[in-house]
Amino acid sequence: MADERIIAALDVRTLDEVKALVGQLGDSIIFYKVGMELFYAVGPQVITYLKSKNKRIFLDLKLHDIPNTVAEGLISLMKFGVDIFNVHASGGFTMLSQAAQRIKEAAHAAGVRPPKLIAITVLTSMNEIDWRSLGMTMPIAEQVVNLAKLSQRAGLDGVVASPREAAMIRKACGRDFMIVTPGVRPRGTANNDQSRVAAPAEALRNGASQLVIGRPIYAAPNPKAAVDSILAEIAAV
């Protein structure tokens, strides 16, 4: 049975690769992430394909611009009928609040359920050395929590953050706030370009609501076996 806490990242470049992976995983995965690499290469047809398979979709395009541009961009993307969008929390309160308000207004006018809107806090690839090179003085974790609270005040449904900050966000923002965590690496798999990582069960225990998992699934010799192993690990959490 599928577990909606797992979002499989389709970090590939062709629709044929998508079809092959979705076919292999079958009913074990219901939620997929479509990011920049795939969406820019294939376009909306990947959304159409996934919806034809009754899959749920996190469209991970990380919008970050002036408030009106972000809000209008999200309204344009709403026509695809995906389940989750994201923006960068560092765009600030006005950008976040306008995005949240206007996407809800547009959904109401269209008579559809509004998609969830979540905000990127600090990318999980960022380590303390890179962080300090930007002139930042507070620790990454402190800024992640600050951005999570800002996003919640602005009316967003949740944030994207690493598993290491999930417990602090959960404490600060409550039980109903979404915490979507990339940087999830099952034990025995490589970190690749992720710096702040955790195993799946650990991430959920820390307070994550959903886990985005890419390479440990699609690059595995047997993707279906990799998913089954992850599902077995988190079943008791």
Q: Which residues are catalytic?
A: 62
Region 31-45 average pLDDT = 97
Separate counts of helices (H) and strands (E) for the chain:
11, 8
- Per-residue confidence band for 103, with pLDDT thresholds at 50, 70 and 90: very high
| Mean pLDDT (whole number) for 89-96 | 98
- For the segment 110-129, the average pLDDT, to the nearest whole number, is 94
pLDDT score, position 236:
84
pTM (2 decimals)? 0.93
pLDDT tens string 15-26: 999 999 999 999
Give the pLDDT confidence score for residue 15 in this predicted structure. Answer: 98
Centroid of chain to Cα 131: 21
Predicted confidence at residue 207, as pLDDT, reads: 95
Distance CA 174, CA 145 (A): 12
**Locus of tokens 């940087």:** 183
pLDDT digit string (tens) for 143-173?
999 999 999 999 999 999 998 899 999 999 9
Distance between CA atoms of 99 and 107, rounded to whole angstroms?
12
For residues 74 and 87, what is the distance between their CA atoms, to the nearest angstrom? 9
